[in-house]
């Protein structure tokens, strides 16, 4: 009996290589020799860490946000928020956010998101949260992004935009945009 190999039924492409590498990336074990040390494995403040860009990729990021909000139906106002991200690799992080929108009405949003650092200054995020309006909680999906401008050691100023899709009332989606001041350590 002949044993088929993946090359016979699945041609070697970059997509195949990426799909086959995913279990290795997420399990933390490699089928080949370990790669050289990366930013996440080097002690902070060492010359090797600086060469590997460790100081550019700090694990903890805290942002304060101020901006304006526009709801499809009725509410316009300002938004103030804070979010935290734990960056577990060069490309991905997980975070939590809270935001207060006030103006014609008032809303509070609390949630969690997955952050993709698509390019060094650009971060895109998707998340789920709960929004409280008029003593009623409802689910929202958040999509957004920010572009980081370094303004000091560990500090960034980022134009930020987010769109909250209401899962209960589609006519109450909210567009939020403004500036985030962040600190990474």
Q: Is 161 helix (H, G, I), strand (E, B) or coil?
A: strand
What was the pLDDT predicted at 160?
97
Average pLDDT over residues 40-64: 62
135 vs 79: which has the higher pLDDT: 79
75-103 pLDDT per residue, tens:
689 999 999 999 999 999 999 999 999 98
Average pLDDT over residues 42-71: 70
pLDDT at 136 over 50: yes
Residue with tokens 């909210």: 174
Kindly state the average pLDDT of the residues 2-15: 52
Q: How far apart are CA 179 and CA 1, in angstroms?
A: 64
Please state whether the predicted TM-score (pTM) of the whole model is above 0.85.
no
Q: How far apart are CA 135 and CA 77, in angstroms?
A: 19
| CATH 2.40.160.20 domain position(s) in the chain | 58-184
Name beta bridge partners: 137.
132
CB 61 within 8 A of CB 154: no
Q: Is domain 58-184 in CATH 2.60.34.10, yes or no? A: no
pLDDT in the model for residue 33:
39
Angle at 90 between CA 185 and CA 119, to 5 degrees: 105
Separation CA 112–CA 115 (nearest Å)? 10
- Outline where the chain has alpha helix (H): 6-9, 14-27, 47-51
Residue appearing with tokens 């060094």 = 120
């Amino acid at each position: 009996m002949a044993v088929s190999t993946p090359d016979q039924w699945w041609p070697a492409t970059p997509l195949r290589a990426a799909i086959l590498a995913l279990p290795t990336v997420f399990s933390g074990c490699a089928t080949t020799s370990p790669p050289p040390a990366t930013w996440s494995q080097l002690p902070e403040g060492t010359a090797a860490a600086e060469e590997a860009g460790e100081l550019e990729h700090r694990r903890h990021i805290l942002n304060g946000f101020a901006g304006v909000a526009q709801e499809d139906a009725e509410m316009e106002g300002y938004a103030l928020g804070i979010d935290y991200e734990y960056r577990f690799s060069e490309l991905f992080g997980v975070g939590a956010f809270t935001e207060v929108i006030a103006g014609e009405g008032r809303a509070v949003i609390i949630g969690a998101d997955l952050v993709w650092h698509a390019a060094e200054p650009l971060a895109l995020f998707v998340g789920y949260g709960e929004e409280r309006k008029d003593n009623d909680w409802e689910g929202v999906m958040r999509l957004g992004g920010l572009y980081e401008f370094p303004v000091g050691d560990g500090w960034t100023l980022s134009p930020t935009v987010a769109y909250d899709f209401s899962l209960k009332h589609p006519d109450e989606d909210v567009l939020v945009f403004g500036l985030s001041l962040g600190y990474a350590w």
